[in-house]
Chains A and B, each alone.
Chain A
Amino acid sequence: MILTEEKKKYLEDKAREIRRSVIEMLVEAKSGHTAGPLGMADIFTALYFGILKHDVKKPEWADRDRLILSNGHICPVLYATLAEAGYLEKKELLTLRKYGSRLQGHPHREFFPLAETSSGPLGEGLAQAVGMALADRIDNGKNSQKFFYCLMSDGELEEGSTWEAVMLAGKEKPHNLIAIIDRNNIQIDGHTEEVMPLEPLADKWRAFNWHVLEIDGHNFEEIYAAIGQAKSVFNRPTVIIAHTTPGKGVLEFEGKYEWHGKPPTREEGEKALKELRTLNGRLKED
């Protein structure tokens, strides 16, 4: 996993395309979440275009890495990334949230088997990821070549069930489990530290016997380095606290919790697409 300048440019271009798709989907759907999908576009890009072991020709490949999306409400970025990677036609993205679409408002495996789990209700993804890793350990032990990536929001760390799963993973220590938290500091009712303080977040996870890393979730070099380190830690699971800007890529949306659960109007969307900045060079400063 070496990140050359060329590869970095490639990832930046992909991320911009994914953000573009997310905005187009939300405008067309007229409902859905804006801040989270845009904020996580860089991490999804890094995962699907560099990190994950997957094969678009064999979506059910048994030895693929598993990406478990716990905070299902950011699924537009999952759908858009999968389309960018060739798993579905881009035009299908515009069916998001519509009657008869595979692209349900929150992912449902029955409609969309490319999602490893159905999700939406918060605080349930990590437990499923832990279960997958434990099942895999029964079959493959420490020789497993698979990694289980659980993508979570910071808001869902307020769910007690999240910590049940954190505790079990701290006990069982599956080495190939990597949780990535979208630490964007917002939730529906406001800023996390006002609604329900999560800090000291890294200390909490450390106390539960996880290996903890903190990164800028928009910096591909840091994403790559953190995943590389997580993969090399063999005696415990790793959590990567990825500091992100909600709504990243569109100044109008950035950092505002009001954009957690609403879509841009057509006018706002068109403006956003115009404004969608090339991420080239800017991200390290943000």
Chain B
Amino acid sequence: MENNLNPKLYELNVEQESLREGFGRGLVRAGEKNKNVVALCADLKESTKVEDFANTFPERFVEVGVAEQNLVSVASGMAAMGKIPFAASYAIFSPGRNWEHIRTTICYNNANVKIVGSHAGLNVGPDGGSHQMLEDIALTRVLPNMTVIAPCDALEAEKATLAIAELVGPTYLRLAREKSPIIMTKESNFEIGKANVLVEPEESEVAIIACGLMVYRALIAARKLEREGIKVSVVNNHTIKPLDETTILAVTKKAGAVVTCEEHQQAGGLGSAVAELLAKTNPVPMEFVGVADHFGQSGSGAELMEHYGLGVDDIIEAVKKVIERKNGN
């Protein structure tokens, strides 16, 4: 049973597009729908894909230069005057460099600012560990008032952009640089705070809960496991905060074991959010696929995902391990 998935998903020629491109399209559409949508950028207009918006609505675009603290606090001021600012940079700089400005001027003020962190995760590749943001989900989800969204593909990034423009309140949208497979369809549902169960076989043994580019790897892993006779569910958990407790509890109760997958430190991210929920409500054996307290390094995205234990085989291994623990071995 597979819901709303791209029919070409498992083919070699599956369409590929980066999350940031989906965001760029969504931002122009959001700007067309609502004249209060404005955008700000810190010298990364082209690479964060704010450029189309800036060209379409030049009077609603502010270039602040290489100044990420200013980026978000200026955005907060614009929100105070009724605008819906999208403040875009690389995730390492925003919410990395400017975290306390986000805390005070956006979250503490409950200002309606959308923080867009592109180039998150290991997939920035050759740029190296200094630019591979692996702590942003942790940094943003601890902030009161903040909503945190990590879409799985370009279509979902576009839908998420439109959705957060209508959501009132501080929001973090996590994007990636590299092209990645289109997982969902134009028609598939996206709702903030509502996880999508993509695969749920009868008698599922493990629930894989993933976000961002790890959703694709989770689906491939599930497919391989199925050939070995191991049945797993796959959840696209695009909204890390507020967490869709209902859906996560339902799939984990059915499966009795969980593996979380994220291109992020194991500490503080999606896995931690799920563990916090399950520890309180339904403690079941759980494994975490994510970076284990390391910084990244230069290399191709694929090489680094393997190196840091985020490959398809790592997910398969985690699933087998958690089944053993569930069975008491």
Give the interface of A toward B (CB within 8 A).
Answer: 68, 108-110, 116-121, 123-124, 127-136, 138-139, 160-161, 164-165, 167-168, 171-172
Are B82's CB and A135's CB within 8 A?
Answer: yes
Contact A116:B105 (CB < 8 A) given known A124-B73, A138-B60 = no
Could you write out 12 A-B pairs with CB less than 8 Å apart?
Answer: A109-B109, A117-B109, A118-B109, A123-B69, A131-B74, A131-B77, A131-B78, A132-B78, A138-B59, A164-B69, A167-B65, A171-B65
Q: Check if B160 is an interface residue, CB within 8 A of chain A.
A: no
Chain B nearest CB: distance from A62 CB in Å? 9
Interface residues of A: mostly helix, strand, loop or mixed?
A: helix
Q: How far is the CA of A119 from the CA of B80 in the complex (A)?
A: 14
Q: Check if B281 is an interface residue, CB within 8 A of chain A.
A: no
Are A118's CB and B108's CB within 8 A?
Answer: yes
Select the residue from B65, B75, B81, B101 with max chain A CB neighbours within 10 A.
Answer: B81
B48-68: CB near A (< 8 Å → 1, else 0) gives 000000000001101011010
Q: Check if B161 is an interface residue, CB within 8 A of chain A.
A: no
Q: Check if B239 is an interface residue, CB within 8 A of chain A.
A: no
Are A130's CB and B104's CB within 8 A?
Answer: no
Q: Check if B38 is an interface residue, CB within 8 A of chain A.
A: yes
Chain A nearest CB: distance from B246 CB in Å? 29
Chain B nearest CB: distance from A165 CB in Å? 5
Contact A128:B77 (CB < 8 A) given known A109-B109, A117-B109, A120-B104 = yes
Name the residue on A nearest B80 (C-beta): A132
Are B81's CB and A135's CB within 8 A?
Answer: yes
| Beyond A128-B73, A135-B38, A160-B69, 7 extra complex contacts between A and B, CB < 8 Å | A131-B73, A132-B78, A134-B62, A134-B74, A161-B101, A167-B65, A167-B70
Chain B residues with Cβ below 8 Å from A129 are 77
Chain B nearest CB: distance from A164 CB in Å? 4
Chain B nearest CB: distance from A75 CB in Å? 14
Select the residue from B73, B80, B82, B85 with max chain A CB neighbours within 10 A.
Answer: B73
Are A127's CB and B70's CB within 8 A?
Answer: yes
Are B70's CB and A117's CB within 8 A?
Answer: no
Chain B residues with Cβ below 8 Å from A130 are 70, 74, 77
Chain B residues with Cβ below 8 Å from A132 are 77-78, 80-81
Are B109's CB and A161's CB within 8 A?
Answer: no
Are A164's CB and B100's CB within 8 A?
Answer: no
Q: Check if B76 is an interface residue, CB within 8 A of chain A.
A: yes
Q: Check if B110 is an interface residue, CB within 8 A of chain A.
A: yes
- B81 is contacted by which of A121, A136, A171 (Cβ under 8 Å)? A136
Contact A127:B74 (CB < 8 A) given known A118-B104, A168-B67 = yes
Q: Check if B264 is an interface residue, CB within 8 A of chain A.
A: no
Q: How far is the CA of A164 from the CA of B100 in the complex (A)?
A: 15
Interface residues of B: mostly helix, strand, loop or mixed?
A: helix
Contact A164:B64 (CB < 8 A) given known A128-B105, A138-B59 = yes
Q: Check if B83 is an interface residue, CB within 8 A of chain A.
A: yes
Name the residue on A nearest B72 (C-beta): A127
Q: How far is the CA of A110 from the CA of B144 in the complex (A)?
A: 13
Contact A121:B100 (CB < 8 A) given known A138-B38, A168-B67 = yes
B85-110: CB near A (< 8 Å → 1, else 0) gives 10000000000000011001100111
Are A168's CB and B59's CB within 8 A?
Answer: no
Select the residue from B64, B73, B77, B80 with max chain A CB neighbours within 10 A.
Answer: B77
Are A116's CB and B70's CB within 8 A?
Answer: no
Are B80's CB and A168's CB within 8 A?
Answer: no
Q: How far is the CA of A118 from the CA of B69 in the complex (A)?
A: 16
Are B110's CB and A110's CB within 8 A?
Answer: yes
Q: How far is the CA of A23 from the CA of B143 in the complex (A)?
A: 35
Name the residue on A nearest B57 (C-beta): A138
Name the residue on B nearest A115 (C-beta): B109
Chain A residues with Cβ below 8 Å from B80 are 116-117, 128, 131-132, 135
Chain A residues with Cβ below 8 Å from B85 are 131
Are B109's CB and A131's CB within 8 A?
Answer: no
Chain B nearest CB: distance from A117 CB in Å? 6
Chain B residues with Cβ below 8 Å from A108 are 108
Are B73's CB and A161's CB within 8 A?
Answer: yes
Interface residues of B in 170-229 (CB under 8 A from A): none
Chain A residues with Cβ below 8 Å from B62 are 134, 172
Chain B nearest CB: distance from A255 CB in Å? 31
Chain A residues with Cβ below 8 Å from B67 are 161, 164, 167-168
- A124 is contacted by which of B59, B79, B101, B110 (Cβ under 8 Å)? B101
Q: How far is the CA of A132 from the CA of B80 in the complex (A)?
A: 7
Select the residue from A123, A129, A131, A160 with max chain B CB neighbours within 10 A.
Answer: A131
- B74 is contacted by which of A68, A119, A123, A168 (Cβ under 8 Å)? A168
Chain A residues with Cβ below 8 Å from B38 are 135, 138
Chain A residues with Cβ below 8 Å from B70 are 127, 130, 161, 164-165, 167-168
Chain B nearest CB: distance from A86 CB in Å? 24
- B69 is contacted by which of A109, A127, A131, A136 (Cβ under 8 Å)? A127
Name the residue on A nearest B83 (C-beta): A135
Q: How far is the CA of A2 from the CA of B116 in the complex (A)?
A: 48
Q: How far is the CA of A120 from the CA of B81 in the complex (A)?
A: 21
Chain B residues with Cβ below 8 Å from A116 are 80
Name the residue on B nearest A127 (C-beta): B73
Select the residue from A68, A127, A136 with max chain B CB neighbours within 10 A.
Answer: A127
Q: How far is the CA of A134 from the CA of B61 in the complex (A)?
A: 10
Chain B residues with Cβ below 8 Å from A120 are 104
Name the residue on B nearest A133 (C-beta): B77
Chain B nearest CB: distance from A79 CB in Å? 18
Chain A nearest CB: distance from B149 CB in Å? 23
Name the residue on A nearest B73 (C-beta): A127
Chain B residues with Cβ below 8 Å from A117 are 76-77, 80, 105, 109
